[in-house]
Amino acid sequence: MNRNADGSLRASSSNAALLRAAVALAPSGVEVTLYDGLGDLPHFNPDRDGETAPAAVKDWRVRLQASDGVVFSVPEYAHSLPGVLKDALDWVVGSGEFMDKPVALFNASPRGTYAQASLTETLTAMMAKVVPEAPIALQLMGTPLNADRIAADPEMWESRQKYIPATIRGMVTGIEHTAIASPDPHRLAGWYVEHLDFAINYRSSNSQTVFVKAADGSMLEIIESNTADRQALDMKAPGLRHLAIAVSDFDVVYQRLMSKSVSFLTEPEKKGGNSLVFFTDLDGNILHLLQREKPLP
């Protein structure tokens, strides 16, 4: 779920209109809601915080906690943020609702660059993830503030492709595991333990499924295959082709695999500072031993 926060209390706010357009553009599966409680928040006062924090503050925090990302669209007042918005942000500095929260910045008046810079600075200080590819600046001053008309603007439509995935990106944290089907899952799991220092961290009680885990927490799920027949070994056939095994000392692990008579598909090589070789596990799955000089960005 996404939440939009408007920085203007004006009834005919152009920033509110921009956010209403964002609501209208939300694709299925993504709920974008407007936060309209800014005017109810009291001035920030640390003495009023804690258990007895005002109800409007508690509501602001709860709504932020329930959001995967936040979209702001704020006016600039005298080269800065509107005071109401700064108060709203100050209420959540200590409670930390913006920590790691993806945030997109919209702007209905592109000349208001000080407010955008100030908001970015404040959100960054609060450890929010201000998504660089998400901002949209549409000049709405002096135009009819019809959300459907704004939503139809090609720039707005294009921005939807960027800010929606970017602000909900925090929902996807990575690949939890990769599954390998094997005629003998436990035997294959043992191979990973013996050859590549994985540890068995789960055994199903009602199937052959077993999980193995590497030192960095990455996991393989080994499930029972429905046939022992394998397709021919092809490193570039469509679909998942190999698992790259990260190592901190390529030469040591390579020598160890050599001594265990592992079947190699390529000669070891150095490419751009990276050391790599392709080989197969006990079942013939393609593995890629890799030591990177520096991690990809």
Ligand X SMILES: Cc1cc2nc3c(=O)[nH]c(=O)nc-3n(C[C@H](O)[C@H](O)[C@H](O)COP(=O)(O)O)c2cc1C
Binding site for ligand X (CB under 6 A): 8, 10, 13-15, 75-79, 108-109, 111-112, 141
Smallest gap from Cβ 74 to ligand X, in A, equals 8
Smallest gap from Cβ 3 to ligand X, in A, equals 17
- Count the neighbouring beta carbons within 10 Å of the beta carbon of residue 112: 21
The single-letter DSSP state of residue 44 is P
Contact between 75 and 112 (Cβ < 8 Å) = yes
User: Distance between CA atoms of 285 and 245, rounded to whole angstroms?
Assistant: 12
Q: What is the dihedral of CA 74, 80, 9, 150, to 10 degrees?
A: -30
- Within 18-81, strands assigned E span 32-35, 69-73
Smallest gap from Cβ 22 to ligand X, in A, equals 14
The nearer residue to ligand X, 140 or 189, going by C-beta atoms, is: 140
Smallest gap from Cβ 42 to ligand X, in A, equals 21
- Count the neighbouring beta carbons within 10 Å of the beta carbon of residue 114: 14
The nearer residue to ligand X, 55 or 78, going by C-beta atoms, is: 78
Environment class of 282 (CB within 10 Å of its CB; exposed 0-12, middle 13-18, buried 19+): middle
The nearer residue to ligand X, 111 or 270, going by C-beta atoms, is: 111
The nearer residue to ligand X, 8 or 159, going by C-beta atoms, is: 8
The nearer residue to ligand X, 79 or 241, going by C-beta atoms, is: 79
